[in-house]
Structure formats: C-alpha cells, structure tokens
Amino acid sequence: MMFLPTNEQWTAYGITHNLHKFFVQRWHELFDEDTYDSWQVQTSNVHTLLAELSDSVHVIVHTPVSHHNFGAVLDELKAIAKVDPIIKNHFPFVRSLLETLTYDTGIKDAKRHDLEQTLRRISVIEGHLIGYEDRLREEIVSLVRNPVGDKNHELCHLLMSLAASLLAKGYSVPALRESVAGLTDSAQGDFPLRIERLLADFSGKSRNFTCHFLVRWTKPLPPIESRIATMTDARAAFTDPVDQAFLDQDTSASILSIRVQAQDMHAARACAEHELCGLLSLNRLYQPHKGKGASWNSDHMALVLDEDHNTRQQIPSDASRLTYIRHASKPGQATADTLKLIENLKNPTQRDVLRSSLLYHRHFTEATADEARLVNLWIALEILIPSGTGSMIDRLSDYVSTILTTEYPVSVAKALPIAMRAHWKPSDKATLLPQLARSNASKFDVYDVLQCLTDKRDGDLIKALLSLVGDQPILVHKVNLLWKMTYREPTVMKERLASHKQKLDWQLRRIYRARNYVMHRGRSVQGMRQLIQHLHTYYIMLIHTIIHDLKYRPLWGIEEACESRKNLYANALVRLKDHKNSPIAIEDILRFFSPGYSATPHTHQVWAHLLQPEVPA
C-alpha cells in the first residue's frame, strides 16, 4: 500500500518540505511488496551491468554460442548510462568510453584478442567510476539540505540508483523496508540528519552474524568443525527473553548454529538458510526416504546474533515474496471455469501443455530454496512458449515481452487508483467527481483514470486530478509522469510501449542468465529473490492473458493466442504511428489493450474504425 500520510501525520514526523515528503514516499514505494512491478526498485545499475558485461565475456571464452548475452547487456548498459544523472554530472566521458564497446564479429567469433581488449576496456571504465557511489550519496544529501524548486524527478532517479546499489551490495529488501521507520522518527533529529544516518547505516560494510535454527534429527549429527555447529544440549545457555521465545517454537528440536558474514540481519538469515538447506540436502542423500531425514520448519523464526553490535533478534523467513500476487476473489469458481476451459481445448497436446505448466508453477510455490523456485518457475513459463526457429530465449523473450506489453497501458492505469485508494475516499472530490462517468465517492474507475490521463494540456480533468492529489508528492509525480510520458498523445504512447517491451526483454534475459548460473554453475546470483518475484509476475500475467483469450476463442490453442497478441502489438504500433496527431480515445485503449472491458459509447472515437477488435461469437 502506498505511503500516504495526512498533513497532521507529516507534522508529527517533523517533515514539512515537499521534497522531503517525496523522499520518504518514494523510498517506501521502492521496497514495498504491494508496489506495482514497474515502480519497484530495479535490479541493475551501471556498476552491476559492467560486472554482468565482464562476466558475459568470460562465458564466451568457454561457450562462444553465448555471445548474444554480451549484446543484450551492452545495450542495457548504454541505455541506463544515457539517463543516469551521476554519469551526466560527474562522469560524462564514460558515455564516450562505452561507445568503444561494440557487439561485433570479434565478440561473436570469440576471437581472443577482441575478448581481452574488451575486458581491458571494461576494467578502464570501472576504474573511472570508483567514486560513483560517493558522488551519488553527496548529491542526495545536497538535494535534501537545499530543497529549492521542483527536484522530485531528479531525486527519483538518484533514489532508484542508490536502492539498486544497496541491493547489489547484499542488503535485504526487508531491512531496507524497515529503514522507512527511521525517516519518520522525529526523535532522530531534523530530516537531513536522518538521511545522513540512513546512508551511514547502509554504508556497505558487512558484519558477522550467528544464526540459530531449530532442526529435528532422526539420527544425531556429530559435531562439525566448520561454520556450522550443532548444539543439541545447549538450551540452558540461551537465557535472554528473546531466546526463550525462539526456543518455545519447538521444544524437542536441536539447535543448529551457522556463522555468516552479511550486511543486515535479514540478509544473514537468508545466507544461513541457504547453508542449512545445503546441509539438509546432503543429509537426504544418506536418508533418502520421506520422513527419515532431518526436518526443519522454514516458517519458524531464526535467532540472529549480530556479533559486531552485540544485539540479537528473532528474524522471520522472508514471506514477502508471495503476497504481491493477489488471490482471486472466488478461487473455487475460477478453478472450475479454467478446468472446463482446459478440458474443452480441441488439441490434447495443448491440454497437456497447460496442465504441465500449472504443475511446475505449483512446484515453484511449494519449494523452499530459491534455486529450486527459479528453475521450476522458468520451466512453467518456457512450456507455454510456441515452437519455432531461433533459440528458446529469443522466442521466449519476444513472446513474453510482447504479450505483457499489450497489457501495460491498462494495467498501469489500474495501478494508479489502487495506489491512491486510501487517499481517494476521504479527499474532497467536489470538483473532479461530477466530470467522471463511472466513478463514485469510494471508487476511481479505470475508465475515468484514462479520461484524466488522456486530457489535453491545461484540461479541466487533469487539473482537477492534480489538485486532488496535490498534498501527496508521490501521487503528483505519478499522475504527471503517466499523463506526460505515456498517454498524452499517440507518438508518446508508442515510445512508451517500445521502451517497456525492451525493459522486459532485458529483465527476462537477466533471469535466464540467473537460471543458467543455477543449472550450469551450481550457484545463485545476487538479487535472485527479486528476480524470482519479477518472473512470477510475468508468469501470472502471461497465463491469465492466455486463459482469457482462449475463453473467447474456443477454437484457438496456446500458440494461436500468443501469435494473436504479437499481431495485436504490431498493429498497435502501426496505428499509433499513423495517427500521431490524433487524440487517444479511451474506448480504443480499453478495446485494444484490455479485450473484454465494457466501455460505454464515446463521441470522440478517433481510432474506433481502425482498432475495432473481433467480437467473440
């Protein structure tokens, strides 16, 4: 849920300036599990992409056919560097250096000289960027200490870069989410001082932790001379009240302790949990029958000791990774309807494909290790991709990014009223509501959202909406961004759709590389949990889109549904290009990008004769 305090709450927080309010709201939004996918923290920045680029060159040395990874990472790196404010203000020459990196025949043919030269150039760029994060932190502090003018858009870029950097260093999303409490604590001093404390708390320095878990052993485990130690008879040594609550979770279990280095307590638990899963997997090798090996309840709290700060705390498993996918309001009815749809598919192979995909999705939801979750979910997604020429990743990326982009114009419009729900009900809507066709005092309908976002410059609707959200900087930023950079006119929407599709393509390929790390190197990559969350979002959107289209086209199979969406996207780009000087009609957006939505007749259907979809028989 978006963080939308009242004026009285802002005063109690000791936060009065618009920029300071925006800082807190955007920082909260980056890490909140309910945040719309496109508004969450990104998984990459210039530094992480340079590391990925270097790794892709090393992969080419051993597997030349993987050269396509280099091209994808390089394109993304150049695109991000182009808009990065720190690069622009402090390292403008880096953009020129990046142009010396090319995806040419030397890379594609894995010529040793070209690969070595590329690695040297990457190293040179990394050397020039050594002071990048210092400049980033300095600019954030400077903006906060001198909040003159409207700097929210600039601050938004800086916070995204900082958040991506902290995740790359190994900080956990739960710890970063908890840091919002310090920003709203007036006892922590004035707001600039709170920001400096936040940056100091997340300085990048790792700490030493000991994590205790409760494990049941069917056969006693002897003492292990490593970072892992069993403490079967050591309960008496735990005397702190926090310890007792931990022990009471299972009075018969042994205590297993794991020492790790990590950035925060939540990250420490995740690292130690990974070690624990490895130990239990090894034990399963020697006790393979179900119910015979060691057991551990992942829902139990772990007792985490920060040895450097001499503090202890019970840390739960990171349960945030599933709640961003909402449950159906009527899951039983939805299950029955979808089962009927699958059984009525004309091609039995298509029935098998859907059932198999759903089976691997279930394996994903039941797995506890992130590696198993990623592999099962990737299989569930890959099964749905139509056969054809070219590599699987090229086909998968093309189909998935295209299909999800056809959903984007309406899904992001739906995200806005969801985000501002808490603000909508108590706000004064006397000016805006009479101008809206479908909304009421408790609901801001997506049709009316689009009416506002497609309004002309200085139009009554957009002015009324901006006035309504005027006391919430994050909502003003969102409305302005969507109005100016997505819905304002056909050419703008065309550029936005192409940009969204490209970002999806890059992220899908990043997830694929993470999957390859697990499959071929036996290890995970930094930020895997967030990549899994994104992949889950993509899978849910894709399969619901397929199910929706099959419901209205009973003669189709999965391949026809996917191909139809590709044609829909291609046709949309053509129409947007052909009618670049025409206003966008709301009904046409809904018909074209959200088939099945009921739109009332409208007098300004500029595109209606061009985009009229086929009506199901």
What pLDDT is stored for residue 608 in this prediction? 34
435 neighbors 464 (Cβ within 8 angstroms): yes
504 neighbors 404 (Cβ within 8 angstroms): yes
Report the C-alpha gap between 349 and 540 in whole angstroms.
21
Q: How many Å is the Cα radius of gyration of the chain?
A: 26
Which residue do the tokens 């990065």 mark? 84
24 neighbors 2 (Cβ within 8 angstroms): no
Q: Does residue 214 sit in helix, strand or coil?
A: strand
DSSP for 482-508, written as a single string = HIIIIISSHHHHHHHHHHHHHHHHHHH
Q: What ranges do the domains of the chain cover?
A: 7-43+133-201, 46-83+92-128, 207-317, 331-399+495-611, 409-492
- 566-603: string of b/e by CB count within 10 Å (b at 16+)? eebbeebbebbeebeebebbbbbbbbbbbbeeebeeee
77 neighbors 125 (Cβ within 8 angstroms): no
- 218-234: string of b/e by CB count within 10 Å (b at 16+)? eeebeeeeeebbbeeee
Q: Does residue 65 sit in helix, strand or coil?
A: helix
Report the C-alpha gap between 583 and 126 in whole angstroms.
46
CA geometry: angle 566, 569, 570, nearest 5 deg: 85
Residue 560: CB atoms within 10 A of its CB come to 16
Distances (CA, A) of 524 to 328, 372, 513: 32, 10, 10
What pLDDT is stored for residue 503 in this prediction? 95
Strand ranges (E), 266-416: 295-296, 302-306, 311-315
Report the C-alpha gap between 200 and 138 in whole angstroms.
12
Which residue do the tokens 């179900």 mark? 290
Residue 524: CB atoms within 10 A of its CB come to 17
**Could you tell me the mean pLDDT of each successive run of 10 residues in the chain, 617 residues long?**
92 96 97 87 90 93 87 95 93 94 88 92 95 96 92 94 94 95 96 97 96 87 74 77 92 90 96 90 85 84 95 87 70 88 84 93 90 95 91 94 92 90 87 92 91 90 94 95 89 92 96 93 85 93 90 87 90 80 74 56 33 36
Question: Length of the chain in residues, anyone?
Answer: 617
What pLDDT is stored for residue 320 in this prediction? 63
What pLDDT is stored for residue 594 in this prediction? 67
User: CA nearest 404: which of 613, 589, 566, 612?
Assistant: 566
Report the C-alpha gap between 597 and 208 in whole angstroms.
54
What pLDDT is stored for residue 599 in this prediction? 41
Report the C-alpha gap between 527 and 411 in whole angstroms.
25
Q: Which two tokens stand for residue 578?
A: 């052909």
Q: Does residue 43 sit in helix, strand or coil?
A: coil
What pLDDT is stored for residue 598 in this prediction? 44
Report the C-alpha gap between 617 and 613 in whole angstroms.
12
Report the C-alpha gap between 72 and 53 in whole angstroms.
9
What pLDDT is stored for residue 105 in this prediction? 85
- β-partners of residue 255 are 214
Q: Which two tokens stand for residue 232?
A: 């079967």
101 neighbors 121 (Cβ within 8 angstroms): yes
Report the C-alpha gap between 111 and 477 in whole angstroms.
48
In terms of phi and psi (left: phi > 0; alpha: psi -120 to 50; beta: otherwise), the region of 192 is: alpha
Report the C-alpha gap between 31 and 34 in whole angstroms.
9
185 neighbors 201 (Cβ within 8 angstroms): no
Report the C-alpha gap between 113 and 153 in whole angstroms.
43
95 neighbors 77 (Cβ within 8 angstroms): no
Q: Does residue 26 sit in helix, strand or coil?
A: helix
HEC-encoded secondary structure of 353-380: HHHHHHHHHHHHHHCCCHHHHHHHHHHH
